[in-house]
Amino acid sequence: MSVLTETATAPVARSGGGIGQSVRDSLVIARRNLIRMTRIPEMVIFGLIQPIMFVVLFTYVFGGSIKVGGTISPQAYREFLMAGIFAQTVTFATAGAGAGIADDMHKGLIDRFRSLPMSRGAVLTGRTLADLVQTALTLVVLAGVALIVGWRVHENIAKVLFGFVLLLLLGYAFSWIGALIGLTVRTPEAATSGGLIWLFPLTFISNAFVDANQMPTFLRHIAEWNPFSATVQACRVLFGNLPEGFVTPDAWPMQHPIIASILWSVLILVVFRTLAVRKYRSAAV
């Protein structure tokens, strides 16, 4: 009788920790996903190949033909480009986050987590935190490659580090979009496709690869108010990578890119975390 009582009451005691318990549960899930990444190193390797290819291709193929700041300068374009490549890398991690959650759903792992006395949001939070760690490692390697091909920063280390913090904040916010997609679709393949199909127009109709001032009026307005563009512009300011002669657009996010980047990222994080956790809870019923 005492054994049955202990078994019945254990989940109640386990789940009653409030915020502290939720944090502990999230860290446990994050650790589980990080261990999984170390056991499947090709996940990290393949995640590095694409951004490195973008760096090399855009630097050496397009760098001598794209005008920034009113002139064509390969070195100026390298520095102009890198903030866009960094931002694209952290947002493309969204597809991996969605595919990972969809894979866990497909294998029934999420159902096992639901049976445990743990915070409902911990499974998703732990997964997105693990993805954030992987994204940070990718940025470190990518920054090294960028330095090799000629990228340079012209501001102090504090500003440069803050620029990378903004990139990681954007990537973490977007990972919750991936989490929502992963919970919505039925297969990891669908999550990968669904996570990428909207990212291409988001990243290319922006100031990431070309000066938005050169776009048609309609597309220019979209690019200037694109959340992605705000972070790219903020990083260029913090890295000192705005080319000489560059004309900053009059749109508010471009005039105040650091504030706009933070506001956009926090808004996306709050909205999509709420939707993802709600979807997780409704699917658990």
**In tens digits, what is the pLDDT along the chain, a chain of 285 residues?**
444 343 333 343 344 456 777 788 888 888 887 887 777 777 677 777 878 888 888 888 877 677 777 777 778 888 898 999 999 999 988 887 788 788 777 777 676 776 677 777 788 888 889 889 989 988 998 999 899 888 999 999 999 999 999 999 999 999 999 889 988 887 878 887 787 888 889 999 999 998 888 889 999 999 999 999 999 999 999 999 988 888 889 999 999 999 999 999 999 999 999 999 888 877 654
Q: How many domains, the chain?
A: 1
User: What pLDDT score was predicted for residue 235?
Assistant: 96
Any domain includes 83: yes
Any domain includes 201: yes
Any domain includes 5: no
Any domain includes 13: no
Any domain includes 230: yes
Any domain includes 180: yes
Any domain includes 34: yes
The Cβ of residue 4 has, within 10 Å, a number of other Cβ atoms equal to 8
By C-alpha distance, which of 207, 231, 193 is closest to 80?
207
Q: What is the DSSP letter of 215?
A: S
Q: Identity (one letter) of the amino acid at 275?
A: L
User: What pLDDT score was predicted for residue 252?
Assistant: 95
What distance in Å separates the CA atoms of residue 37 and residue 40, rounded to the nearest whole number?
5
Q: Which domain covers residue 276, as residue numbers?
A: 21-284
By C-alpha distance, which of 95, 92, 224, 90 is closest to 170?
90
CA distances from 225 to 14, 130, 198, 260 (A): 45, 30, 16, 9
What distance in Å separates the CA atoms of residue 210 and residue 220, rounded to the nearest whole number?
11
Any domain includes 10: no
By C-alpha distance, which of 241, 251, 261 is closest to 174?
261
The contacts of residue 152 (CB under 8 Å, 6+ apart) are 79
Q: Which residue(s) pair with 71 in the sheet? A: 68
Q: Where are the alpha helices (DSSP H) in 198-240?
A: 199-204, 217-224, 227-239
Structure tokens at 30: 């994050």
By C-alpha distance, which of 267, 269, 257, 200 is closest to 225?
257
